[in-house]
Amino acid sequence: MFPLEKFQQIDTPFYYYDTELLRQTLSAIRDNITPEMHVHYAVKACANPKVLSIIAQEGFGADCVSGGEVQAAIDAGFPAEKIVYAGVGKSDREIILGLEHGIFAFNVESIPELEIINQLALQRGKVARVALRINPNVGAHTHANITTGLAENKFGIDMQDMEDVIRRTQEMQGIQFIGLHFHIGSQILEMDDFIALCHRINEIQERLEAAGFPTVSDINVGGGLGVDYQQPNEHPIPDFKAYFQAYKQNLKLRHGQQLHFELGRAIVCQCGTLLTRVLYIKSNPIKNFCIVDAGMTDLIRPALYGSYHHIENLSAQSPSDYVTYDVVGPICESSDVFIKNYGMPRTQRGDIIAIRSAGAYGEIMASGYNCRQLPKGYTTEDLA
Ligand SMILES: *Cc1c(COP(=O)(O)O)cnc(C)c1O
């Protein structure tokens, strides 16, 4: 499935994006949504310009968490009216950028932020469409660092303050309050977590209606659908049917209400692979180290979250001759380890190793630590 001969001609490390798989993933999403459902790709998962432009061309919107992402989305061809912008700490410059482009909505996380958006909009004779990000206090069964929907997390407005904040929006001439926004975490594989969010949103809508607030036009449930890191070949495309079904069956939308999603990982993760070459094999009495030329500067997830990535030796000479390795990078940090005690066909210097499921939170999180160059990203078309 990988163009190994092409890979052999390229300096490692680099990211490879299988754009055919990306397009199949996008079409699997389209097959499972109804006309009132809108999917905004979460740019923070991967902002490779070619990946972004394919997603834009296929008609999806964008979910941004910084002015830089709003700009990247615009540059890649996402129409401003399909861009939503979230984030606990939007700067004035970033808010102005969103206003000037006339993005679809700001997902607002506090009253002070609301006041600044109102002020900046009024100064420009504009009205900002705003959804309030509510912290639904719904736990997600995922890594503690990537759960976001609990009261202890910094994100969103507390449910008890919701009515007050909505009243404030009604007094502000520069603000048009359009909806409610939620996002409970990432790499979520239990549909029950999304169902719990649906039930919470149903409660919230009933509570607001009982208090006499008008029905909002838009509900945004965020993203968070996970992927199968263990078996990327068996499950290259996430189970979108089950995911969207959870919302179709459990969320009680009001007449005409539009439902927005912000999927990042589920769209790009499996189509991206980090390619690296073996530099040295170093053995001691207890370990075989497979030292590769990619490190935590290229893919930080294993060091940051202890994440698993499936690793393959694409150059294996004798596929059945398994050896146990710690696959490690060259960075001067003990945490610069991709995987420990991993069985892999015997490797030697120069072999090309594929670190799979690296399309999300991979290239975009790369750093220049140790004065290293940032990895390049190539698509199927680039190597054709
Ligand atoms: C990160 C993020 C997303 C996307 O999360 P995934 O797990 O990649 O789907 C969506 N919405 C918001 C507000 C986010 O911060």
Domain boundary among 216, 234, 269: 269
| Token representation of residue 210 | 């009982």
Q: Are residues 170 and 183 in the same domain?
A: yes
State residue 177 phi and psi, 5-degree precision. Answer: -80, 115
C-beta of 262 in contact with ligand 1 (< 6 A): yes
Q: Give the chain's mean pLDDT.
A: 95
Q: Which residues are paired to 96 by β-bridges?
A: none
The best mutation among 29, 40, 43, 65 to test binding of ligand 1, ranked by most ligand atoms within 8 Å of the C-beta, falls on: 65
| Least confident range of 15-19, 145-149, 312-316 | 145-149
Q: Region 97-124: what's the mean pLDDT? A: 97
C-beta of 64 in contact with ligand 1 (< 6 A): no
Q: Are 38 and 61 in contact (CB under 8 A)?
A: yes
Q: Are residues 263 and 274 in the same domain?
A: no
For residue range 30-55, list pLDDT tens digits in order: 999 999 999 999 999 999 999 999 99
The best mutation among 153, 262, 269, 305 to test binding of ligand 1, ranked by most ligand atoms within 8 Å of the C-beta, falls on: 262
- 310: domain CATH number is 2.40.37.10
Ligand 1 centroid to Cα of residue 11, in Å, is 32
Q: Are residues 371 and 284 in the same domain?
A: yes
Task: State the residue for tokens 């048009």.
Answer: 176
For residue range 197-214, list pLDDT tens digits in order: 999 999 999 999 999 999
Chain centroid to CA 84: 14
Domain boundary among 215, 243, 269: 269
- 63: domain CATH number is 3.20.20.10
Residue 171 within any structural domain of the chain: yes
Predicted confidence band at 149 (pLDDT cuts at 50, 70, 90)? low
Among left, alpha and beta (phi > 0; psi -120 to 50; other), residue 134 is: beta
C-beta of 181 in contact with ligand 1 (< 6 A): no
Q: With 90 as the cut, is the pLDDT of residue 141 above it?
A: no
Domain boundary among 239, 269, 299: 269
Q: Are residues 251 and 285 in the same domain?
A: no
For residue range 153-170, list pLDDT tens digits in order: 667 899 999 999 999 999
Residue 384 within any structural domain of the chain: no
Residue 151 has what pLDDT?
62
Residue 146 within any structural domain of the chain: yes
Predicted confidence band at 262 (pLDDT cuts at 50, 70, 90)? very high
Q: Are residues 285 and 190 in the same domain?
A: no
Q: With 60 as the cut, is the pLDDT of residue 145 above it?
A: no
Residue 124 within any structural domain of the chain: yes
Q: Are 225 and 280 in contact (CB under 8 A)?
A: no
Q: With 90 as the cut, is the pLDDT of residue 140 above it?
A: no
DSSP-derived 3-state class of residue 282: strand
Q: With 90 as the cut, is the pLDDT of residue 251 above it?
A: yes
In this structure, the residue with its CA closest to atom 11 of ligand 1 is: 222
Q: Region 237-260: what's the mean pLDDT? A: 98
Q: Region 9-17: what's the mean pLDDT? A: 98
Q: Region 185-201: what's the mean pLDDT? A: 96
Q: Are residues 265 and 283 in the same domain?
A: no
C-beta of 223 in contact with ligand 1 (< 6 A): yes
Q: Are residues 187 and 282 in the same domain?
A: no
Domain span holding position 375: 4-12+270-379
Residue 87 within any structural domain of the chain: yes
Residue 138 has what pLDDT?
87
Q: Are 366 and 296 in contact (CB under 8 A)?
A: no
Cα–Cα dist 36/381, whole Å: 33
Q: Are residues 146 and 293 in the same domain?
A: no
Closest among 253, 191, 330 to 37, alpha carbons compared: 253
Q: Percentage of residues in the chain with pLDDT exceeding 90? A: 93
Domain count along the chain: 2
Ligand 1 centroid to Cα of residue 222, in Å, is 6
Measured from the CA of 188, which atom of ligand 1 is nearest? 7
Q: Are residues 248 and 120 in the same domain?
A: yes
Q: Are 54 and 48 in contact (CB under 8 A)?
A: no
Q: Are 37 and 261 in contact (CB under 8 A)?
A: yes
Q: Are residues 141 and 221 in the same domain?
A: yes
Interacting residues of 313 by C-beta distance below 8 A, sequence separation 6+: 344, 345, 347, 351, 352, 353
The best mutation among 84, 134, 186 to test binding of ligand 1, ranked by most ligand atoms within 8 Å of the C-beta, falls on: 186
Distances (CA, A) of 218 to 246, 249, 366: 18, 18, 35
Q: With 70 as the cut, is the pLDDT of residue 358 above it?
A: yes
Q: With 90 as the cut, is the pLDDT of residue 18 above it?
A: yes
Residue 70 within any structural domain of the chain: yes
Q: Region 164-190: what's the mean pLDDT? A: 96
Closest among 22, 41, 44 to 365, alpha carbons compared: 44
Measured from the CA of 262, which atom of ligand 1 is nearest? 10
Q: With 90 as the cut, is the pLDDT of residue 255 above it?
A: yes
Residue 338 within any structural domain of the chain: yes
For residue range 320-349, list pLDDT tens digits in order: 999 999 999 999 999 999 999 999 999 999
| Least confident range of 12-16, 73-77, 147-151, 307-311 | 147-151
Residue 340 within any structural domain of the chain: yes
C-beta of 44 in contact with ligand 1 (< 6 A): yes
Q: Are residues 291 and 375 in the same domain?
A: yes
Q: Are residues 250 and 282 in the same domain?
A: no
